[in-house]
Chains A and B, each alone.
Chain A
């Protein structure tokens, strides 16, 4: 826990100083890192703590992105108000969808749980494609612009940090809370945990909703920075991203997936700028990292289980 805290303080200092040292392009990449860090950590609340491997987490990132975009584009509020409400709308929408998806999915465990989340994601993807009036269909929603000074990357960066930082803290409190330890117990032994008086499904559902809500927040933070939302964000291939980030960084540490997100995003930018075969190169690098560090990057200096 001390290491976690040191790491968090260090990360916060570096993060705060970063915009001064970076070009607008790299500030934009840094914003992407921040958003995906929250996405990966929220995903890992399910996987690393609850032992639930969701194959459909992109659905919540996507729903949050659309909800945030629609709030800005179509709510009719003043731009500043709409923008301020966008993160809340994203969380609420993602939480609501996660409540429905979770309600059915936690009825099964293991691979069947994964398949249910996968199926719901296909459903939501299709809705994003076909509900043209709301989502813009294939074209998505483009040309979103944060109001006023927030349109400048360095300022938006601060907004992203100020949103994601507290969100990460909330999740950190959660995984170390009685609910968090109960989740870990549930992962370790789902049968035993019933026999200490815990109702398994309702705890899994709650974790699913919280995780989905924060994935939605991450989606909105990213969408409003990139200015676009596309249905492909909800496609099943997109759900591999948080899985890879979490495993890369280490699922048994709270900030591991955030580190995994940073490495993944930066690698992708650097490599895709150099070769059209970048997926191949990414694949090889990830393969090497996972083979060399089965406990993820954070596994290198942490040998105990989850904090």
Chain B
């Protein structure tokens, strides 16, 4: 029981500078298990940099990242993934030359520590589980399609299936609905929400569409110029005058959303 009380993710003072630009100016974030946390903020606020620094793609200049009670600051991506942290990218990132089925199989093989086997036939391994995961994200029937030929939204869902194949305890989704039509966005985030709930996966996601954010987020963190501007429940964040100022002109946050 005690273990469940430790936050799934605890970031302290995370900082990163690009030349003269302080992309992250010391960010603190604590995410409890089971949360569905949205990170919002205008373009260039540092959301992707925050994700990239947590997930080992970029080295932080300062600060620490604790994942499920374990210090993982600066850990290599493959080690983080094996520790249970999954992620997707703002610009969809799948294995374009492989079939949808193979995309998920690669992840399942790596998760089962089988990527070193040089004699077994890969096609026969984890085929059922791969098909299950594809069905889970709504891609049943597309198993044999080359990932690169899938529609944009389907590639986003495929990337989710790839991330889920690693049985993560925490999912970091960088703009899971980017590039989708408004209706598809809500459907997509609801799917993510459903799946994450069903599997008991905690989730942190960035998002520009406030309708999507308010549809699923349990808490919201607002980043602005590399710093946390506000944090709280959706209602608290919506009522925050500073947040309203940053989003001036984007009336959606003040008015709330009726999606």
- Chain A positions within 8 Å of B, measured between CB atoms, are 173-174, 176-182, 184-185, 187-189, 191-200, 203, 206, 210, 305-306
Q: Which of A188, A195, A198: most chain B CB closer than 10 A?
A: A195
Which B residues touch A305, using CB under 8 A?
A: 97-98, 146
Which B residues touch A196, using CB under 8 A?
A: 81, 106-107, 110-111, 162, 165-166
Query: Across the interface, do B95 and A176 meet the contact criterion of CB distance under 8 Å?
Result: no
Taking the closest CB of chain B, its distance from the CB of A177, in whole angstroms, is 5
Which B residues touch A192, using CB under 8 A?
A: 89, 93-95, 162
Which A residues touch B120, using CB under 8 A?
A: 177-178
Query: Across the interface, do A197 and B122 meet the contact criterion of CB distance under 8 Å?
Result: no
Query: Across the interface, do B93 and A177 meet the contact criterion of CB distance under 8 Å?
Result: no
Q: Which of A191, A198, A200, A203: most chain B CB closer than 10 A?
A: A198
B239 at the interface (CB under 8 A from A): no
- Chain A binding surface, main DSSP class: helix
Query: Across the interface, do A178 and B78 meet the contact criterion of CB distance under 8 Å?
Result: no
| A194–B93 CA distance with the chains assembled, in angstroms | 12
| A188–B103 CA distance with the chains assembled, in angstroms | 10
Query: Across the interface, do B110 and A182 meet the contact criterion of CB distance under 8 Å?
Result: yes
With A189-B93, A197-B82 in contact, do A181 and B162 touch (Cβ < 8 Å)?
Answer: no
Contact partner of B115 among A173, A174, A179, A195, CB < 8 A? A179
Question: Which 8 residue pairs spanning A and B have beta carbons closest together?
Answer: A196-B107, A194-B77, A197-B81, A188-B95, A197-B110, A181-B122, A185-B106, A182-B115
B55 at the interface (CB under 8 A from A): yes
With A179-B117, A197-B82 in contact, do A188 and B96 touch (Cβ < 8 Å)?
Answer: yes
Contact partner of B97 among A173, A176, A184, CB < 8 A? A184
B18 at the interface (CB under 8 A from A): no
Which A residues touch B125, using CB under 8 A?
A: 178
Taking the closest CB of chain A, its distance from the CB of B115, in whole angstroms, is 4
B68-101: which have CB < 8 Å to A? 76-78, 81-82, 86-87, 89, 93-98
Contact size class for B? 35 or more
Query: Across the interface, do A178 and B95 meet the contact criterion of CB distance under 8 Å?
Result: no
Query: Across the interface, do B165 and A181 meet the contact criterion of CB distance under 8 Å?
Result: no
B119-133: which have CB < 8 Å to A? 119-123, 125
| A197–B76 CA distance with the chains assembled, in angstroms | 10
Query: Across the interface, do B105 and A181 meet the contact criterion of CB distance under 8 Å?
Result: yes
Which A residues touch B87, using CB under 8 A?
A: 195
B218 at the interface (CB under 8 A from A): no
5 CB-based A-B contacts, threshold 8 Å: A177-B118, A178-B122, A179-B115, A197-B81, A210-B118
Taking the closest CB of chain B, its distance from the CB of A213, in whole angstroms, is 12
Contact partner of A179 among B89, B96, B116, B146, CB < 8 A? B116
Which B residues touch A173, using CB under 8 A?
A: 118-119, 121
| A188–B76 CA distance with the chains assembled, in angstroms | 20
With A181-B106, A194-B81, A196-B162 in contact, do A188 and B114 touch (Cβ < 8 Å)?
Answer: no
Which B residues touch A179, using CB under 8 A?
A: 115-118
Query: Across the interface, do B118 and A194 meet the contact criterion of CB distance under 8 Å?
Result: no
Taking the closest CB of chain A, its distance from the CB of B207, in whole angstroms, is 20
Which of chain B's residues has its CB closest to A210's CB? B118
B35 at the interface (CB under 8 A from A): no
Taking the closest CB of chain B, its distance from the CB of A169, in whole angstroms, is 11
Query: Across the interface, do B97 and A306 meet the contact criterion of CB distance under 8 Å?
Result: yes
Taking the closest CB of chain B, its distance from the CB of A247, in whole angstroms, is 17
Query: Across the interface, do B110 and A198 meet the contact criterion of CB distance under 8 Å?
Result: yes
Query: Across the interface, do A188 and B118 meet the contact criterion of CB distance under 8 Å?
Result: no
| A82–B186 CA distance with the chains assembled, in angstroms | 71
Query: Across the interface, do B119 and A189 meet the contact criterion of CB distance under 8 Å?
Result: no
B109 at the interface (CB under 8 A from A): yes
Query: Across the interface, do A189 and B122 meet the contact criterion of CB distance under 8 Å?
Result: no
| A197–B111 CA distance with the chains assembled, in angstroms | 7
Which of chain A's residues has its CB closest to B85's CB? A195
Contact partner of B109 among A181, A189, A199, A206, CB < 8 A? A181
Contact partner of A195 among B81, B102, B109, B122, CB < 8 A? B81
Query: Across the interface, do B78 and A181 meet the contact criterion of CB distance under 8 Å?
Result: no
| A173–B117 CA distance with the chains assembled, in angstroms | 10
In the complex, given contacts A177-B120, A179-B115, what are 14 additional A-B residue pairs having Cβ atoms less than 8 angstroms apart?
A176-B123, A177-B121, A178-B109, A184-B102, A185-B98, A188-B98, A189-B94, A192-B89, A195-B77, A195-B81, A195-B163, A196-B107, A196-B162, A203-B116
With A182-B110, A185-B98 in contact, do A194 and B78 touch (Cβ < 8 Å)?
Answer: yes
